[in-house]
Amino acid sequence: MPTMQKITILGSTGSIGVSTLDVIARHPDRFSVFALSAHSRVEELAQQCKTFGPRFAVMPVAAASQLQIRLRELGCATSVLAGSEQLEFVAAHPDCDAVMAAIVGAAGLRPTLAAAQSGKRVLLANKEALVMAGQLFMDAVKEGGAVLLPIDSEHNAIFQSLPRNFADGFKQVGVKKIILTASGGPFRTRPISALAAVTPDEACSHPNWVMGRKISVDSATMMNKGLEVIEARWLFDAMPAQIEVVIHPQSIIHSMVEYLDGSVMAQLGNPDMRTPIAYGLGFPERIDAGVSTLDLVSAGKLEFEALDMTRFPCVQLAYDALKRGGTAAVQLNAANEVAVEAFLGHQIRFTEIADILEDVMANMMVSEAASLDEIMAADAYARTAAKIRVVERKTFSKL
């Protein structure tokens, strides 16, 4: 009989959070919900609390007041906590066994770090924890005795395809490189000259995956793949030269590992995030995810293309950030969050996202990323720099 695990889900109303709850609901004998958090979707979180009965629910102050009223109406006994610092409380709580870190952006860094420091099983769906604080986060995992399991479909695929002792070093275990696959997003074949006219709705229409708007735009620019390159560097202690990106439009092969003897190990499956979520929840066992079986005959051919850095300059910017080290990746991530928000708000063109990132990185000094305070200071400074550039571009476009 498996031991009951109490799960905290940071970002429970997003696509990852909803999928996690779907998997948990399939295994009531193995998992219970300890805490849930959301940013603004009061009604969705209230219904989740009613269904799963967590001990705690966390929201920003204004939304928490609304949630408290709604839970009272529903007769739900969940305790409501207000403020971002409460995310760290539920992530590090001694009664919590595992944390699904699914808050998008830099806001998820502190609670995810708290979970690692507290020795939890950390199911990492938040790229920014490693992009912004790679060495700091991995040190916290080691020192806290946490179990770190990647949930991004690509990193989860790599984790499944690597030998269990990969931490001994790639050369020692016979690994040559890891290969991140990318669908290419909705604009893989659109003429580059037409990309400036792309609308937010078009950018959010991914051909294979259902995701939030920010992540969808990152997929369209392929900044998500750039962030995954940085994430892979820390997760697997891989050098940039050992990380390759290949376009695979079908999203059937989620990533691969190439070995020194010429073998290539790949993890295949339908594009459904419940597969890596179930892998993380059940590890080292395999549990039902509710995902339909992959039919290779129906899938037909599997295609691969080289990555075009001219079409997707954000990927090169990520490699550049790795090369520069220090807070360069922090700057890249912060500027990207600002630029994507501006694009979604119809303030800048799609192609100006990469322009703003390149401009911010070219004009900022890089410092060490030795402490969380230093990282957050670099994050704030880069956001300000990016916002200035958004305003400049808006002003210029009106001239």
Sequence-distant (≥ 6) Cβ neighbours of residue 55 within 8 angstroms: 34, 35, 78, 79, 95
With 60 as the cut, is the pLDDT of residue 370 above it?
yes
Is the confidence at residue 211, as pLDDT, over 80? no
pLDDT value, residue 1: 59
Q: Which residue has the tokens 């300000």?
A: 384
| Alpha-carbon span 386 to 40, nearest angstrom | 25
pLDDT (tens digit per residue) in 75-100 = 999 999 999 999 999 999 999 999 99
Mean pLDDT of 351-371: 94
* Model pLDDT for residues 110-150, shown as the tens digit of each residue: 999 999 999 999 999 988 889 999 999 999 999 999 999 99
- Domain 5-150: assigned CATH number: 3.40.50.720
Residue 175 pLDDT level (bands cut at 50, 70, 90): very high
Q: Which pLDDT belongs to residue 105?
A: 77
pLDDT in tens, 266-277: 999 999 999 999
Residue 85: count other Cβ atoms within 10 Å of its Cβ: 12
Min mean pLDDT across 147-151, 164-168, 353-357 is at: 164-168
- Determine the 3-state secondary structure of 367 from DSSP: coil
Q: Residue 51 above 50 pLDDT?
A: yes
Q: Are 329 and 375 in contact (CB under 8 A)?
A: no
pLDDT band for 265, please (50, 70, 90 cuts). very high
Percent of the chain with pLDDT over 70: 97
State residue 220's pLDDT score: 94
CA 218 from centre of chain: 11
The pair of three-digit structure tokens given for residue 75, joined into one six-digit string: 């007769």
Mean pLDDT computed over 269-288? 96
Mean pLDDT for 289-318 is 94
One-letter amino acid identity for 22?
D
Model confidence at 209, pLDDT cuts 50, 70, 90, reads low
Position 117, amino acid: Q
Mean predicted lDDT score pLDDT of the chain: 94
> 399 pLDDT exceeds 50?
no
Does 40 score more than 60 pLDDT? yes
Confidence of residue 3 (pLDDT cuts 50, 70, 90): confident
Is the model's pTM score more than 0.75? yes
Do 393 and 348 contact (CB within 8 A), yes or no?
Answer: yes
Q: Where are the beta strands (DSSP E) in the chain?
A: 5-10, 31-37, 56-59, 79-82, 98-101, 121-124, 147-150, 175-182, 243-247, 253-259, 264-268, 305-306
Q: Which whole-number Å values give the CA distances from 210 to 58, 71, 215, 216, 366, in the listed order?
A: 25, 29, 10, 8, 35
Per-residue confidence band for 262, with pLDDT thresholds at 50, 70 and 90: very high
d(CA 98, CA 82): 21
The CA angle 320-321-324, to the nearest 5 degrees, is: 90
User: Looking at residue 336, what DSSP letter applies?
Assistant: H
Which amino acid is it at 109? L
pLDDT confidence of residue 215: 86
The pLDDT score that the predictor gives to residue 396 is 52
Number of residues that make up the chain: 399
When pLDDT is cut at 50, 70 and 90, the band that residue 369 belongs to is: confident
Antiparallel, parallel or unpaired: β 79-82 and 5-10: unpaired
Name residues whose C-beta falls within 8 Å of residue 308's C-beta, 6 or more positions apart in sequence: none
Domains of the chain, by residue range, sit at 5-150
Token reading at 66: 């609304």
Tokens of 40: 């603004």
Straight-line distance from the first to the last Cα atom of the chain, in angstroms, rounded to the nearest whole number: 69
Q: Quick one: average pLDDT of 341-351?
A: 95
